[in-house]
Amino acid sequence: MRWEDRGPSNDVEDRRGNSGGGSSGGGLPMGRLGIGGTIVLLVLSLVFKRNFFAGRGDVAGPAPTTQAARPGPALTGGTPGNDTSARFTSFVLDDVQDNWARYPNLGVPYERTKLVLFTDRTTSRCGEADAATGPFYCPGDRKVYLDLGFFDDLRQRFRAAGDFAQAYVIAHEIGHHLQTLLGTETKVRREQRARPKDSNALSVKMELQADCYAGVWGHSTAQRKILDDGDLEEALRAAAAIGDDRLQKAAGRAVRPESWTHGSSAQRATWFRRGFDSGRIDACNTFDAAPR
């Protein structure tokens, strides 16, 4: 991906070196692991031969992929003294939000979100978060939370390497912010309370729609010709690597679609590709789409 170092984004809140800072709140809701949370829990399960998913009602972490990633400059987990990844994150954050701010007929004014960079541990209005939570969006304070060390795990342990794979992760979380602005998040939470048996299925639709929204942004990058050969494949590989079916298999568990909260590998890649090919949010109506 051809990105420009524009310095720190005005929408980045850097808490690195200030672990535990931020707004406090209730516990992080069960079943709301960030896009990378299940990855980290799988690592712990494999290393310590213990099921770190027990009692979560959540899916297992992802399987390592076997495809080799396209060679490219490594974007390492950030520290204040080594900020390549932080600068890249700033670029992607601004680019995604600029895209939504100029998107025609969005239906609501786009309000920019903040992205909180932290190391090891911080707090949000959704509760305390640590590195094992992975990247996540908190609707309570309308912020995205990211420990940049997650990108190291994404590249080194799970072979979902590449800058556009990382950009997909960020764009997915901003997709959840867009759902909050559009009222989708509130509607889904209300439906989950009214129909608890359908809670997981509704969560899957939310996650797949966020994947599709990430793809809509990806479409804009292709139109502006800032993608390199292989970038689309990087994002599709990352989406597939964290499909619920692959995660369950990697943890040695039976594949149980009724327990999914994010969707299968095929679903996640399909919905990202749908947004990428169309460039339209009206192509991202996962709620009326027939199950596949």
What pLDDT digit, counting tens, does each position of 80-109 carry?
A: 444 888 999 999 999 999 999 999 999 999
93 part of a folded domain:
yes
3-state SS assignment for residue 6: coil
Residue 104 class from Cβ within 10 Å (0-12 exposed, 13-18 middle, 19+ buried)? exposed
55 part of a folded domain:
yes
Taken in order 111, 129, 38, 166, the sign of the CA dihedral is positive
216 part of a folded domain:
yes
pLDDT at residue number 128:
87
pLDDT at residue number 211:
96
229 part of a folded domain:
yes
289 part of a folded domain:
no
Give the H/E segment covering residue 127: strand 127-130
174 part of a folded domain:
yes
- Which of 49, 55, 181 shows the shortest CA–CA distance to 108? 181
**Tokens 């690195």 sit on residue:** 16
Count the domains in the chain.
Answer: 1
Intervals of the chain under pLDDT 70: 19-82, 157-159, 290-292
75 part of a folded domain:
yes
pLDDT at residue number 200:
93
Two structure tokens written together for 38: 């299940």
278 part of a folded domain:
yes
pLDDT at residue number 107:
92
**CB within 8 Å of 85: residues ≥ 6 apart:** 75, 76, 77, 78, 148, 151, 166
| DSSP 8-class letter at 79 | B
143 lies in which domain range?
12-283
- Which of 229, 258, 28, 8 shows the shortest CA–CA distance to 141? 28
